[in-house]
Structure 1
Amino acid sequence: MLKVGVIGCGAIAQRRHLPEYSKRSDVEIVAVCDFNLERAKEVAQTFGAKFAFQTHQELLACEEIEAVSVCAPNFLHASITLDAIHAGKHVLCEKPMATSLEEAKSMVDAASEKGVKLMIGHSQRFMPVHLKAKEILDEGKLGKVLSFQTTFGHSGPENWSVDGSKSWFFNQDEAFAGVLGDLGVHKADLIRWLLNDEVSEVSAMYGTLHKNTNVDDHAVITIKTHKGAIGTLTASWTYYPNENNSTIIYCEKGTLKIGTDDKFGLIVEHLNKHRELYEMDKMQTNEAGGQTDSGIIDHFVEGILSGQGHSITGIDGYKALEIVLAGIHAANEKKNISLIATI
């Protein structure tokens, strides 16, 4: 039995972490916390947690807790994670793992030094369509990846966050970045994982097209990989009314399309015009019910209980964050940015 605590009781905790922990017979939710104590108490009652606290320090003081989910605003991810690591807890930290590479590296180093596990919540990897796409690409039958386009857009956090338009997502001091920190970082992780390749160079443009906020609501990053593929990553909070979570990968011997068809989640088009159509589970979305069964909590729990660890490590979180930060820098400086391995 793994005893867990959840830090932050916003939408991601209520719609993903806590429901998925609750479904497991080998997990006990010991405590939750939120700066809004009344919210914490309501969430504790809903999900059967024994304790509701206002601060993460109180939660971490519970010796019986072995692992925590960090679901706080972005600017608190690093400090809370470091406190949890130093308290000897395993950590599942929501993305982006930090607001700077220095913070991210300190988290990775601390987990290594303390001998605890640090996993980052990049849930795109666990979608059935992405797992199947990864399998096909790894088989090599489509040949070398030449180019790609990956997109993640919806109508914005005001339609999903428990705080609506007043959400911390729209406050730069708390979010540090807008849609790039929310959706772009997911796709940064996804593309390097799918392609089994690292990003070597980026250029970018971003802006605030429609939201009343001081953070970006639309961004496009152009990416070149070490193996030579060139593609684009688009993230947006201005896709009204429908969500777009799609990826197209163009290879020497065919094209792989993910999330481009309402019926077939994955389509492979070969040079001889033959098409493979995969009717799979629909893409995980921000709609009601779309945040459950993500695979994230199962992987986190099983990685701890088995002792085998996790496939999405702090280093993966670091590299996804690095791409986003390089994109922001490239856009601000209006120049290409080369990424140099620092971890």
Structure 2
Amino acid sequence: MDPIRVGFIGAGSMANSVHYPSLASFKDVEIAAICDLDETRLNKTADQYGVEQRFKNYRLMLEKVPLDAVYAIMAPIPTDHYVNAEPLTSVVINCLKRGLHVFIEKPPGVSFEETRKMADTAEKYGCKTMVGFNRRFIPVFREAKRMVEENGPITHCIAVFHKNMIGQPEPWGRVSYLVADVIHAIDALRFMSGEAEEVTAYIYSFYVDYMNSFNALIRFKNGCVGHLCSNYSSGGRVHYFEMHSKALYAFVNLPFEPEKQEALILRSGRSYGEAEVLRNLELVEGCRDFHVVYGYLQENRHFIDCIRKDEIPETNFKDAIKTMKLVERINSSK
């Protein structure tokens, strides 16, 4: 079996913390080339993973190295010492026009229109695509959802995502945290509930000069009601999901500490103290590596498997349009 040959555009902290180690662990994947404008980052990453083909110009990489797929792990808007770089959307479209499968991180552009352009190009050239909405692939969340749905459809769900970002500017200079980060919680609501029908939102600014509190009540087409609750002027990072079905409730807590990542399952009127406990560490056989416990290994494996099996990745660009539409509906209904 020939390996899937992957070219990386980006050698920053995100790529190095979760995507390089994930792909490097797959025997059927070869990291064939790396591109980054920062020569120090480029050489450090390439040395670590034994990659000889190194480029500062991604177009040159695409011309010179035979590839099956590209990972474009870069900010949607160039900033800092990458300020003169080509925007993500343009990079992705150029890769797709060469018939290359593409994986990107969230957000998939900074607007629904950018996501749509990438999705349309992928469809035209027959490419597999995926957005890194890793929450869907965290083992304890996925298993808890499966258990809830065994008792019937999810009728009510909640996505909570708080942080303390007071004193910090908006991401990439001008992008709302709703698009840049809270989108994880919004996509998780779609994962739990399907497609939105009615949206009411309340968005406020506390202690900063941009919007940093995002609350929405969403009625989904399947009858489920979803709540988004996110405050970026809170005391610290809090991230959890709740799901209800017939006589069953699940609380999924997702802090960064592996030993605290767990789901509490309540059935048929039991008290909180009688909840079943589903531990993420047990589902990943005790591995504490961040890319393993937080769904990155699993989403990368899913993408590679879809290329091999000629299947559509779960969080493909076309599906991501729906998440971006919901983001914009929440933002416009305030």
Scaled by the length of structure 1, the TM-score of the pair is: 0.80
Matches within 5 A, 1:30-179: 30-75=32-77, 76-139=87-150, 141=151, 143=152, 145-155=154-164, 169-172=171-174, 176-178=175-177
Q: Shift of residue 112 of structure 1?
A: 1.5
2:256 maps to 1:270: no
Which of 39-48 and 202-211 deviates more?
A: 202-211
Q: What's the secondary structure of 1:315's corresponding residue? A: helix
Distance 1:309 1:225, change over 3 A: closer
Match of 2:180 in 1: 182
Q: Shift of residue 218 of structure 1?
A: 3.4
CA contact 1:183–1:236 (8 Å) conserved in 2: no
CA contact 1:189–1:316 (8 Å) conserved in 2: no
Q: What's the secondary structure of 1:110's corresponding residue? A: helix
Measure the CA separation in 1 of the matches of 2:199 and 2:188. 16
CA contact 1:89–1:116 (8 Å) conserved in 2: yes
Measure the CA separation in 2 of the matches of 1:239 and 1:129. 25
CA contact 1:153–1:183 (8 Å) conserved in 2: no
CA contact 2:157–2:192 (8 Å) conserved in 1: no
Q: Deviations over 1:258-315 (max 9, x none)?
A: 118975711222333264413321599xxx9423462121111122123234222222
Distance 1:296 1:264, change over 3 A: closer
Q: Deviations over 1:124-168 (max 9, x none)?
A: 1111122112212332x1x4544322112344599xxxxxx79x8
Match of 2:15 in 1: 13
Q: Shift of residue 93 of structure 1?
A: 1.5
Distance 1:52 1:289, change over 3 A: same
Measure the CA separation in 1 of the matches of 2:15 and 2:207. 27
Q: Deviations over 1:198-222 (max 9, x none)?
A: 11122223345356xx654432222
Match of 2:220 in 1: 225
Gaps of 5+ in 1: 159-164, 332-343
Measure the CA separation in 2 of the matches of 1:44 and 1:260. 32
Q: What's the secondary structure of 2:142's corresponding residue? A: helix
Match of 1:247 in 2: 241
Match of 1:340 in 2: none
CA contact 2:254–2:260 (8 Å) conserved in 1: no
Measure the CA separation in 2 of the matches of 1:312 and 1:27. 20
Picking from 312, 318, 322, the partner of 2:321 is 318
Q: Deviations over 1:7-39 (max 9, x none)?
A: 122222111111111112221112222232322
Measure the CA separation in 2 of the matches of 1:204 and 1:194. 19
CA contact 2:242–2:252 (8 Å) conserved in 1: yes
- Give the number of equivalent residue pairs: 311
Q: Shift of residue 73 of structure 1?
A: 0.8
Picking from 230, 234, 250, the partner of 1:256 is 250
Measure the CA separation in 1 of the matches of 2:196 and 2:121. 25
Measure the CA separation in 1 of the matches of 2:36 and 2:98. 19
Q: Shift of residue 229 of structure 1?
A: 2.7
Gaps of 5+ in 2: 78-86
Q: Shift of residue 48 of structure 1?
A: 2.2
Query: How big is the alpha-carbon RMSD for the aligned residues of Structure 1 and Structure 2?
Result: 2.9
Match of 1:335 in 2: none
Measure the CA separation in 1 of the matches of 2:14 and 2:105. 9
Measure the CA separation in 2 of the matches of 1:264 and 1:70. 29
Match of 1:338 in 2: none
CA contact 1:264–1:277 (8 Å) conserved in 2: no
Measure the CA separation in 2 of the matches of 1:4 and 1:95. 19
CA contact 1:147–1:230 (8 Å) conserved in 2: yes
Measure the CA separation in 1 of the matches of 2:211 and 2:56. 30
Amino acid at match of 1:121: G
Distance 1:14 1:235, change over 3 A: farther
